[in-house]
Amino acid sequence: MNEYPLWKNLLVLFAVLIGAFYALPNLFEQNPSIEVSATHRAEVTDATVSKVEETLKKAGIELAGMDRENKKLLLRFSDTESQLKAQSALEPVLGGDYTLALTLSPNLPGWLKATGAEPMYLGLDLRGGVHVLIDVDMDAAIKQALERYGSDMRSYLRKQKIRYLGVKVEDGGVTVRFRDARTRDEALAGLEEEFRGLLLKAGDQGGKVFVRAKLSPREELAIKKFALQQNITTLRNRVNALGVSEPVIQQQGDRRIVVQLPGAANPGRLKEILGATATLEYRLADTEHSVQDAEVGKVPPGSKLYHERNGRPILLKRRVIVTGDQITDASSGLDQRSGSPAVFVTLDSQGARRMRNMTTENVGKPMAVVFIENRTMTKLVDGKPVKHKERVEEVISVANILEPFGRRFQTTGLDSTEEAHNLALLLRAGALAAPIEIVEERTIGPSLGQDNIDQGFRSVVWGFVLVLVFMAVWYRQFGMIANLALTMNLVLIVGILSIMQATLTLPGIAGIVLTVGMAVDANVLIFERIREELRNGNSPQASIHAGYDKALSTIVDANVTTMIAAAVLFIFGTGPIKGFAVTLFIGILTSMFTAVIGSRALVNLIWGGKHRLKHVPIGGY
């Protein structure tokens, strides 16, 4: 009685050791750092390292450490002030070939770093940074969609040779006017077949005959959803250029976007990036002239020299076929004929017409996609950093025209499905689908973040200590067993959060504090049941056995209901509520394991098995 098999004891020991190992990185100090990442055109080489070291030495900035792996270089500093000075010094030197991201990095020993163990991420409220709430103008998105439908209707009616007096977007719909009812009815039948996402209705007022088109509720919802998702993709690509590690960009509600940049301290620069313009251009490649001649300055008339992202030069025609503002959708997939990665693009009516005409005349010839963005760069002028806007043009894809195409076509010749996915994102993120407005902005300084960490840590410690004291006084030696189980529980929570690479926020700390208080509930139920069995005259061993077995169902019921509440909070909550729900859910799971299995394993080792107990050290009964 009251004896675990060896495998169960080893299981408990293994779980505790794994949790302690992955929780260990959180004990080490985190240094303010800069992550230097190479773009497509560059690599982190020995020359890069030397340039960084020389620049920091000239600026009088001391490095606390430097790590290099793959295409990244991590620079650690002793304080935030040195980190920001180093960023200002390195930006004009490294230019646009590298991205500088402000971050925090733990000062881990080499043996621990080699295992891949990492501490938890710190949220905006603990680390400091910029929080921006953005509202997407859905009315403008609907209006843009109606403008596209109006243009498509004009093209359709011209193609069908149906005469109309005019097409006008007004009062949340599209009105098409005709000379007579017969022509209107003929057009209505065709428009209903061509534009199934619209609700069409014939009208006659004041001697004027017309067709009134409105968006169906389903189509309107799809347009709003697309506008929101495209804006999120656009903002994510733009924020990546800001140089911030672990940005959070997510939807809030049905029309708002939350942008959180931990470690960022310049909201003005954030607004500049969010308001930047980016676009795409499709151009034919010039295969008739020499690229080598163009590189030495002999660019033929009607052509222009570009460079692909790997640095390879390419000669393109100056005439633009279509631009990014004519792209209405883009998605990645596989070519049905070859099975190779492809990107499927949809154009508006004007872009489709131009693309159809150009591809019909140039089958078999290569066509390029040029990504254009106005970036803010920093250069040294008379020894001082000066910011200026620079137009960046990069060829992101080159593929042969296999056959004529128009409104919807595919781009092939890509190396991988990942590249196809990224290209689709770039195509969709070339420009914002709808105007945005910053409705809320908060800047949290690093010092305030550190205060939040200190206060949160103190709250956990005080809650933990008070619970330990109560259990030790009230339940004596059994209380000490509960305290060991509670300690194991806290270690497991931190370990699991670190394994998940979860982001710890203030509400998350609140969840941990609540879990600390709730974790001993199971032990209280067990110990009170043991006391009751002892008062009924049962033997010590039988009382311990009955205490754990009979309290189990109550413990499971109580914790399962709390887990359901935590799951509901996570599913329907946003931001801080999700952080609270995650730590609460994990804390409930670990508390059930440590309070029921972990504490019983300790009780069995100390008082179980063949031990003949005359008294159970569990306090007054």
If asked whether residues 455 and 598 sit together in one domain, one would say: yes
Q: Are residues 169 and 310 located together in one domain of the fold? A: no
Q: What is the DSSP pairing of strand 341-347 with strand 408-411?
A: antiparallel
Dihedral sign, Cα of residue 445, residue 29, residue 38, residue 416: negative
Residue type, 273: I
DSSP 120: P
Residue type, 454: D
Question: At residue 65, what are phi and psi to the nearest 5 degrees?
Answer: 170, 160
Q: What is the pLDDT of residues 93-116, one digit of tens each?
A: 876 567 777 777 788 887 887 888
Amino acid identity at 552 = L
Q: Of 107, 128, 154, which one is at a domain's C-terminal end?
A: 107
In the chain, the amino acid numbered 392 is: V
Examine the domain organization and report whether 102 and 146 are in the same domain: no
Q: Is residue 491 part of a domain?
A: yes
The model's pTM: 0.60
Contact (Cβ atoms closer than 8 angstroms) between residue 467 and residue 517:
yes
Summarised one tens digit per residue, pLDDT across range 185-222 is 888 888 888 888 888 888 888 778 898 999 888 888 98
User: What single-letter DSSP state applies at residue 595?
Assistant: I
In a domain, 472, yes or no: yes
CA distances from 168 to 173, 191, 224, 323, 428 (A): 9, 15, 22, 24, 27
Residues 411 and 480 both lie in one domain: no
- Extended beta strands in 229-340, E state: 248-252, 256-262, 278-285, 303-307, 313-323, 327-334
pLDDT at 43: 76
Please identify, among 376, 402, 418, the residue that sits at the C-terminal boundary of a domain. 418
Last residue of a domain, one of 185, 220, 255: 220
Q: Is 3 helix (H, G, I), strand (E, B) or coil?
A: coil
Please check whether residue 212 lies inside any domain of the structure. Answer: yes
Please say whether the beta carbons of 247 and 235 come within 8 A.
no
CATH of residue 574: 1.20.1640.10
**Exposure of 613 in the CB half-sphere (CA atoms within 13 A):** 20
What is the amino acid identity at position 370?
V
The two three-digit tokens of residue 611, written as one number = 């031990």
pLDDT at 203: 86
Supply angle C-alpha 271, 276, 281, rounded to 5: 165
% of the chain beyond a pLDDT of 70: 85
In this structure, are residues 110 and 417 in contact, taking their beta carbons and an 8 Å threshold? no
Tell me which DSSP letter residue 29 carries.
Answer: P
Q: What is the rounded radius of gyration, in angstroms, for the C-alpha atoms of the chain?
A: 33
CB 544 within 8 A of CB 2: yes
- Euclidean distance between CA atoms 317 and 366, whole angstroms: 11
Across 91-95, 137-141, 565-569, which has the greatest mean pLDDT? 565-569
Q: Please check whether residue 425 lies inside any domain of the structure.
A: no
CB count, 10 Å around CB of 22?
24
Comparing 429 with 445, the larger pLDDT belongs to: 445
One-character DSSP codes across 339-356 = --EEEEEEE-HHHHHHHH
CB neighbours of 144 closer than 8 A, spacing ≥ 6? 433, 434
Taking a C-beta distance cutoff of 8 angstroms, is the pair 471, 523 a contact? Answer: yes
Q: What is the pLDDT of residue 378?
A: 62
The whole domain housing 76 covers 31-107
Residue 284: inside a domain: yes
The dihedral built from the CA positions of residue 593, 597, 601 and 603, taken in this order, carries a sign that is positive
**pLDDT value of position 248:** 79
The residue to which tokens 């103008």 are assigned = 137
- Tell me the three state secondary structure of residue 304: strand
Q: Are strands 366-381 and 327-334 parallel, antiparallel or unpaired?
A: unpaired
- Of 247-256, 356-365, 443-452, 516-525, the range with the highest mean pLDDT is 356-365
Give the span between the Cα atoms of 353 and 359, in whole angstroms: 10
378 and 294 within one domain:
yes
Inside any domain, residue 429: no
- Is the same domain home to 486 and 550? yes
Cα–Cα dist 184/207, whole Å? 13
Which residue has tokens 């043009």? Answer: 393
Q: Residue 415 carries which DSSP code?
A: S
> What number is the average pLDDT over the span 366-387?
70
User: How many domains is the chain built from?
Assistant: 4
Mean pLDDT of the chain: 80
Alpha-carbon span 169 to 185, nearest angstrom? 20
What is the rounded average pLDDT of the residues 540-550? Answer: 83
- Structure tokens, 390: 């620079």
Q: Is the dihedral of CA 569, 570, 576, 580 positive or negative?
A: positive
Q: Is residue 413 part of a domain?
A: yes
pLDDT at 617 over 80: no
Q: Which of 59-68, 271-280, 466-475 has the lowest mean pLDDT?
A: 271-280
| CATH code of 196's domain | 3.30.1360
Does residue 527 belong to any structural domain of this protein?
A: yes
Q: Confidence class of residue 297 from pLDDT cuts 50, 70 and 90?
A: confident
Of 106-110, 261-265, 415-419, highest mean pLDDT: 106-110
What average pLDDT does range 408-433 have in this prediction?
66
Q: What is the DSSP letter of 594?
A: I
pLDDT classification of 272: cutoffs 50, 70, 90: low
Output the CA–CA distances (angstroms, integers) from residue 133 to 93, 266, 618, in the order listed: 33, 16, 54
pLDDT tens column, 421-436: 666 655 665 566 677 7
562 and 496 in a common domain: yes
CA 463/CA 512 separation, integer angstroms: 10
Q: 472 with 594, same domain?
A: yes
* Exposure string over 355-382, b if 16+ CB within 10 A, otherwise e: bbebbeebeeebbbbbbbbebeebeeee
d(CA 275, CA 390): 15
Same domain, 492 and 587: yes
Which of left, alpha, beta for 575 (phi over 0: left; psi -120 to 50: alpha)? Answer: left
Query: Could you tell me the pLDDT band of residue 18, with boundaries at 50, 70 and 90?
Result: very high
> Is residue 516 within 8 Å of 464, Cβ to Cβ?
yes
Are 464 and 561 within one domain? yes
Both structure tokens of 53: 């070291």
438: how many CB neighbours lie within 10 A of its CB? 15
Residue 564: the pLDDT is 92
Query: What pLDDT score was predicted for residue 21?
Result: 92
Q: What is the CATH number of the domain that holds 55?
A: 3.30.70.260
Residues 342 and 204 in one domain: no
- Same structural domain, 55 and 100: yes
Task: Write down the pLDDT at residue 263.
Answer: 63
Residue 276 has pLDDT above 60, yes or no: no
The rounded distance, in Å, linking the Cα atoms of 521 and 595 is 9
Sign of dihedral through CA atoms 81, 87, 90, 91?
negative
Contact 452, 577 (CB under 8 A): no
